[in-house]
Amino acid sequence: MTQLALIKKAVTFINKKTKNFKPEIALITGSGLAGSVPALTQKVTIPYAAIPGFLRSTVPGHTGNLIFGVYKGRKIVVMQGRFHYYEGHPMKDLAISIRTLKMLGVEKLLVSAAVGSMDMKLKPGSLCVLKDHINFMCNNPLIGNHDPAFGPMFFDLTVAYDKEMRKVALAAAKKAHINAGEGVYLAVTGPNFETPSEIQMFKKWGATVVGMSVVPEVLVARQCGIAVLGLAWVTNLGCGISKTPLSHEETIRETKKIEGKFKDLLEILFVKL
């Protein structure tokens, strides 16, 4: 079965469950951030495992549900947990969920993630609103499975992250009393954290934060015409900058500290975007 046929099957299944609910905005929650989702009305929750063709999230802190609902009149869909290349999924399969969202009607995507910072102005608890990225995964989810239904094979990435949405996010962060700034996300495959030498190299390249996701989702979204806002929450300083060894447990602990702030931010963004 082609990926397009698989996605159409998933869309048909989801539409039956949601009675053809057409979401405007999608949110992907990063590690430990699933509890930040504002209260939604008309809520429908579908486990990833139930959706034909959908991958399964295996990482602690990624619940694995597709949640539909309404927040103050805006129709929302939440990916409560994401899929990572380091879990062993083929890179091309990371495109399935985003293309499914597009076919369900999504026009705007909010991508959140827990990241390590290389900028001392963005310490743990801070928000980095992404203005660009560097793909150091040495792979791309768009390779080898193109169909015109997914958008053009060759497309421009001058503005991968929507300028107006970034302005709204920075203003919302200020209103929510969140330390925030713009920056560049550098994507690595993981699952190991980076070495001190790698962190120093990434800084020289102009990267602000580093993580193991986001970029595959953004590439797929931009190909199919979805506007993207990247919200990277700093949970640690990069290796060699941090005075303590890094761990996923630390990531989860730090995201628990900012759950409330992220919820406040989302409540503003869901209305303003």
Catalytic residue positions, numbered:
31, 62, 84, 86-87, 114, 212-213, 236, 248
CATH class, 3-272 region:
alpha beta
Q: Give residue-wise pLDDT tens across range 179-206.
A: 999 999 999 999 999 999 999 999 999 9
Element (H, E) at 246: none
Q: Give residue-wise pLDDT tens across range 58-92.
A: 766 557 899 999 999 999 999 998 999 999 999 99
Q: How confident is the model at residue 165 (pLDDT cuts 50, 70, 90)?
A: very high
pLDDT value at 55 more than 70: yes
Q: How confident is the model at residue 209 (pLDDT cuts 50, 70, 90)?
A: very high
SS3 21: coil
3-state secondary structure labels for all residues of 155-200: CCCCCCCCHHHHHHHHHHHHHCCCCEEEEEEEECCCCCCCCHHHHH
Query: Which pLDDT score, from 0 to 100, does residue 62 have?
Result: 53
pTM summary value: 0.95
Query: Which pLDDT score, from 0 to 100, does residue 187 have?
Result: 98
Q: Give residue-wise pLDDT tens across range 85-137.
A: 999 999 999 999 999 999 999 999 999 999 999 999 999 999 999 999 999 99
Percent of the chain exceeding pLDDT 90 equals 86
pLDDT value at 220 more than 90: yes
Query: Which pLDDT score, from 0 to 100, does residue 60 have?
Result: 61
Query: Which residues does residue 113 pair with via DSSP β-bridges, in sequence order?
Result: 232
Whose CA is closest to 126, among 38, 28, 239, 236?
A: 236
